Amino acid sequence: MSGNLLELSDIHVSYGRAEVLHGISMSMKPGSIVTVIGANGAGKSTLLNAIMGIVPSSGTIVYDGAPVPRSVEGRVAAGLCLVPEKRELFATMSVEDNIELGGFLRNASERAETREEVYARFPRLAERRKQLAGTLSGGERQMLALGRALMSRPRLLLLDEPSLGLAPKIVIDILNIVSELRKTGVSILLVEQNARAALEIADEGYLVELGEVRLSGPASEMAVNPALMESYLGTH
Ligand code: ATP
């Protein structure tokens, strides 16, 4: 037993004839935040979709010491949950109904209990529970996407660019929430363009370029890596 929650070995994904992931391997410890950084088109979303089973992949995915279930539904039941880049909320449904949908695999009493935990964590959503999701601000929409994900009681949250399109202050709020979630025992695989902020809250980091892992290591070391600094971290 490796003690890892997730282990990817030699993951390849193709769209038609074009291979976009060329043998990705990575691992994550339970209770950790691992961030995947890289430019647009590097294959980060594809990697999350492969882990969730939304796109087919070759290679092996071991989750909690066993091969990951084959179907997406099986993976959700096993504790994996993806918050996609586009959030994919139901704009014409209320906040409450969107949250409820996240608990579709749970029974009524689990749903009721988790719903109250979600509202306690996101008081803004509780205030707006009757409001239509389409009328929320960008930050509130991301909170709703996270709240809906928590309804499945995940053990591993896959977050695709949670800060995308948000104002800098809201980005910090959202990443603080991600950090807080880890304290509840949820492990988080965080895809972010905002490399500096992501490395600040992560334990480990992976740089993916053109479908391959170029660099990996403790987030604190990646954050001061000169090569990364030039291309991805900007200067202070
Ligand atoms: P971004 O941050 O822009 O979403 P990314 O690192 O998440 O980038 P992916 O979205 O995984 O990258 O895309 C990787 C490559 O695969 C890109 O060249 C993209 O055009 C291609 N691609 C993604 N989805 C599909 C698809 N459904 N069909 C064909 N090609 C796709």
Q: What is the pLDDT of residues 1-41, one digit of tens each?
A: 578 999 999 999 999 999 999 999 999 999 999 999 998 89
Q: Report the distance separating Cα 77 and Cα 135, nearest Å.
A: 31
Q: Is the CB of 207 under 6 A from ligand 1?
A: no
Give residue 45 CA to ligand 1 midpoint distance, Å. 7
Specify the 3-state DSSP secondary structure of 20.
Answer: strand
The packing angle between helices 168-183 and 138-150, to 10°, is 10
Give residue 103 CA to ligand 1 midpoint distance, Å. 29
Residues of the chain short of pLDDT 70, as ranges, are: 1, 234-236
Mutate to test the pocket of ligand 1, among 19, 35, 45 (most ligand atoms within 8 A of CB): 45
Q: Looking at residue 104, what is its pLDDT?
A: 75
Q: Looking at residue 207, what is its pLDDT?
A: 95
Q: Looking at residue 65, what is its pLDDT?
A: 94
For residues 43 and 211, the answer to whether their CB atoms sit within 8 Å is: yes
Q: Looking at residue 236, what is its pLDDT?
A: 45
| Predicted ipTM of the assembly | 0.93
Give the pTM.
0.91
User: Phi-psi bin for 96: left (phi > 0), alpha (psi -120 to 50), beta?
Assistant: alpha
pLDDT (tens digit, 9 = 90+) per residue, 211-220? 999 999 999 9
CATH topology of domain 1-79+156-232: Rossmann fold (3.40.50)
Q: Ligand 1, atom 25: nearest CA belongs to which residue?
A: 15
Q: Report the distance separating Cα 58 and Cα 104, nearest Å.
A: 29
Domain boundaries, the chain: 1-79+156-232, 90-153
Q: Report the distance separating Cα 100 and Cα 152, nearest Å.
A: 10
- Please report, rounded to a whole number, the percentage of residues in the chain having pLDDT higher than 90: 62
Q: Looking at residue 173, what is its pLDDT?
A: 85
